[in-house]
Amino acid sequence: MARALPFVPAAFLLGLPLFTADPYWLHVLIMSALNVSLALSLRVLWNVGVLSCGHAALMGVGAYTSAFLATSVGVSPWLGALTGSGATIAVAVGLGYLSLRLRGIYFVLVTFAFNEVFFLVVNRWRDVTGGPSGLVGIPRFPGLPPGRVSYYYLALGLLALTVGVLHRIERSRIGVIWFAIRDSDLRAQCVGINVVFYRVLAFAVSAIFAGAWGAFYAHYVTVIAPSDFTVWQSVYVQLYMIVGGAAAFAGPIIGGSVLTIATELLRATGPLVSVIYGALLTLVMLFLPGGFVSLHTALARVRWRPFSRSTA
């Protein structure tokens, strides 16, 4: 029964365009797929015990690489997307190797700085990135039937790939070793696990999906700018993961889709989105540290004492 559960939403999503071809809602669903995938890939790092503030920059590496190759060199977006993912892995492995000794706040800060540096670099490197106004006129993926429905199915396929691969890795030996490293770094070394290798591997796996979705994004919206990949975008990805519940595989899926769709339903824009997201994040950290997926256990033992003294 439980194994069949994922097929219900899958069938629903597959059949949806038969009933509605409203481009606005297809767009919302495409963005949900993007956000879910980013949050899921960020969780790979969370599984080895670190929180990254640089996910948007990794996505940006994929997006800019593919967009630059397509606009300036004339490489096919399909090939460009592959190259973009590869470039993202290279950046992540480099950053991972340098920063892998760091944990906790140090890792948060180094990725935070990485995202800032990326933002400043794309702002300045006008010849390649177009500077603050970004790259425009990025070609769409060739060979797809025109219209948004084809992009909807492409996003759905990429989402299925992301979910499938990440789920399998997590349940494989590699996933078990990742969790072991999160539990105890020292202990993992002392049962013969090459902690450095597995941490960098986690970084690479996380990055490949960020890069691939970045390239997808570039060839979908056809305009990218530095402001699409700021550190605050990285914080939003953290938010999808944490508000959904980072402990469970389903957490980022729920967080990413619910928050993206809810934002659209509220027709919230700009600052209002950030107020709503920020408030949610604050409240979840205070009252529901396990995120949405822990709601049923949390409700089972409701203790609404918002003004009680803290107990350490």
Give the footprint of another protein on this chain (CB under 8 A): 51, 98-99, 101-102, 104-106, 108-110, 112-114, 116-117, 120-121, 123-124, 167-169, 171-177, 179-180, 183-184, 186-196, 232, 235, 238-239, 242, 270-275, 277-283, 285-286, 289, 309-310, 312
CB closer to another protein, 56 vs 75: 56
CB closer to another protein, 24 vs 232: 232
CB of 156 to another protein, least distance (A): 20
CB closer to another protein, 250 vs 276: 276
CB of 135 to another protein, least distance (A): 18
CB of 37 to another protein, least distance (A): 19
CB closer to another protein, 20 vs 194: 194
CB of 163 to another protein, least distance (A): 12
Q: Are 211 and 89 in contact (CB under 8 A)?
A: yes
CB closer to another protein, 11 vs 109: 109
Closest CA to 92 of 111, 78, 105: 111
Instruction: In whole angstroms, give the CA distance from residue 145 to residue 164.
Output: 26
CB closer to another protein, 51 vs 90: 51
CB closer to another protein, 21 vs 161: 161
CB of 100 to another protein, least distance (A): 10
CB of 295 to another protein, least distance (A): 17
CB of 164 to another protein, least distance (A): 8
CB of 38 to another protein, least distance (A): 16
Q: CB burial class (10 A; 0-12, 13-18, 19+) of residue 154?
A: middle
CB closer to another protein, 61 vs 242: 242
